Amino acid sequence: METVLALSIGVLTASGVWLLLRPRTFQVIIGLSLLSYAVNLFIFSMGRLMVGEPPVLDPGGTGDLSNYADPLPQALILTAIVIGFATTALFLVVLLASRGLTRTDHVDGREPMP
């Protein structure tokens, strides 16, 4: 399971960086989104992956804390998802305004000369 998670984080990061280096603004926005998803998965994996274990302590039991997942990374991920949606929406509005003013969606505002 850890191998699949590490590979997915690596693929998301590589795809995000590749898209960030593209000349079109929409591709840059998608690259930022992929990078944020990769960081979210990385932070989520820091809370330890436990399969088949209860998420909280039993009411009457003493329990060993090493058998339970850490809830802090999960709360951080939920916050990061909400902030990511808001910034993506802001980027898209700025993209539309920039495209309306410059008549192109190239990152520097100019099409490359042939």
Q: At what angle do helices 71-102 and 25-45 cross, to 10 degrees?
A: 180
Residue 1 pLDDT > 80: no
3-state secondary structure of 106: strand
Report the pLDDT value the prediction gives residue 73, as an integer from 0 to 100.
80
Q: Which CATH class is domain 2-49+68-102?
A: mainly alpha
Q: What residue ranges do the domains of the chain occupy?
A: 2-49+68-102
3-state secondary structure of 94: helix
> Are 49 and 68 in contact, with CB atoms under 8 Å apart?
no
pLDDT tens readout for residues 72-86: 888 888 999 999 999
Residue that wins the pLDDT comparison between 71 and 23: 23
pLDDT tens readout for residues 30-55: 999 999 999 999 988 887 666 666 66
